[in-house]
Amino acid sequence: MQIPNVNMPFFLKIESGVRKRIIPLLFEYFSPDTNVLLLSDEIVYKKYGNLIYEQIKAHFNLKGIKIIKTNNLQECFKLIKILLGKNIDLVIGLGGGRVLDMGKQATFMSKKKFISIPTAIAHDGIASPIAVLKTNKGVKSLGSHIPSGIIIDLDIIIDSPKELTKAGIGDTLSNYTAILDWKYAASRQKIKTNDFAILLSITAFNALFNYENPDLNDVNFLRQLAESVILSGLAMNMAGNSRPCSGSEHLISHSMDTFGKNNLHGIQVATASIISAYLHGKNYLRLKRFLDKFGIPYHLSQLGFSKEDFFQIMQNAIGTRPNRYTILNDTDLSDDNLNIIYNKLYNENGRNNFSSRSRI
């Protein structure tokens, strides 16, 4: 049996205004002669970057700033050349998923340290060992490493677009069905589970799902969301794969992607989690009520998909990741059965007949 090699961040700070005092954090782990490169994008840098830039410049060997315009794999290779050519020791990524994924993958391949400063909580990639990059064959999830340090300024998060925060909530919600699928696959001897990774993933879900009086404008709720997405990332790191946070709901979302609707990933997997919970015989109505609190879509039509699209989405979902065994592998995906599922899920024929005895 292979023993997982688990790496953990050096530090984690989730505070209001922490971007103004990052130097004491860095000095605990890095010396003043450390060669540093700052990554960001144009919009984020104009808003927050100068403060970070000046702090680093005054206390470390700042080798410049790289503005990220795309998370393309070819651009990632170019970034690696910069890291090696300038003898960079530490990369600090300030921005959203595109910047952070480029930073994680480039530092992983060049064996450099990476500090993540996210400007939104839109998904669990903040602390995951996975980078999503574009390739000639589409978008790929690549094995990476977890950041060496994570700095989350709640003042930045509360100022980020609310739709991105909703996406982060949706991505965390999907942990529930991902664990159902992981255990389901294990019960059929398709894969082994990891109890610690399951604990982290479900703790992340429960802490958010059971939060009293959640509010997108409440800094304490946003702190909990940040903690939950980080726990999700640590769960994947513990497992050595994405199974703790990615199951049939992610396969359904990947199938949605082929329609080119440009919905946020976290919103799609939240909607797909309703479908997956139903297929597992769980009380998907409680998930729906949770999404309703934030105005996160429950019905596929809210994402621009028709009933006919639903048939195609479901029938193509397994093919998006053939090696990932989920409840979909043992579901009748014929048009006739999908018609029944759709009508029951979306209550087209009147009263919903889902058993009140079903539990989350």
Tokens of 280: 């597992």
Q: Please tell me the distance from the alpha carbon of residue 336 to that of residue 311, in angstroms, as a whole number.
A: 10
CATH number of 162-345: 1.20.1090.10
CA distance 296 to 289: 10
CA dist 165 and 264 (Å) reads 11
Report the Cα 353 to chain-centroid distance in Å: 33
Lowest mean per-residue pLDDT among 44-58, 304-318, 334-348: 334-348
**Of the candidate ranges 4-13, 24-33, 224-233, 260-269, the one whose mean pLDDT is the lowest:** 4-13
Q: So what's the pLDDT on residue 143? A: 86
State the pLDDT confidence band at 4, using cuts at 50, 70 and 90. low
Model pLDDT, residue 350: 35
CA-based nearest residue to 127, from 267, 14, 296: 14
| pTM of structure | 0.92
- pLDDT, averaged across the chain: 93
pLDDT for 357 equals 36
Residue 92 bridge partners (DSSP): 38, 115
Q: How large is the average pLDDT for residues 101-114?
A: 96
pLDDT band for position 360 (cuts 50, 70, 90): low
Q: How far apart are CA 279 and CA 309, in angstroms?
A: 18
| Confidence category of residue 142, pLDDT binned at 50, 70, 90 | confident
Average pLDDT rounded to a whole number, residues 287-313: 96
Q: What is the rounded distance in angstroms from the CA atom of residue 326 to the CA atom of residue 201?
A: 17
Query: In the predicted model, is pLDDT for residue 127 greater than 90?
Result: no
Q: pLDDT value at position 175?
A: 98
Residue 227 clears pLDDT 90, i.e. is over it: yes
Domain ranges across the chain:
11-158, 162-345
Task: Tell me which of 75-89, 126-140, 180-194, 320-334 is least confident.
Answer: 126-140
CATH number corresponding to 11-158: 3.40.50.1970
CA distance 275 to 47: 39
Report, as an integer, the average pLDDT of 82-94: 97
Contact (Cβ atoms closer than 8 angstroms) between residue 193 and residue 179: no
Q: How confident is the model at residue 3 (pLDDT cuts 50, 70, 90)?
A: low
Q: Lowest mean pLDDT: which of 164-173, 300-309, 340-349?
A: 340-349
Q: What pLDDT sits at residue 138?
A: 77
Cβ-proximal residues to 54 (8 Å cutoff; 6+ apart), any chain: none
d(CA 317, CA 323): 12
Gap between the Cα atoms of 181 and 193, Å rounded: 11
Percent of the chain, pLDDT > 70?
95
**Residue 356, pLDDT score:** 37
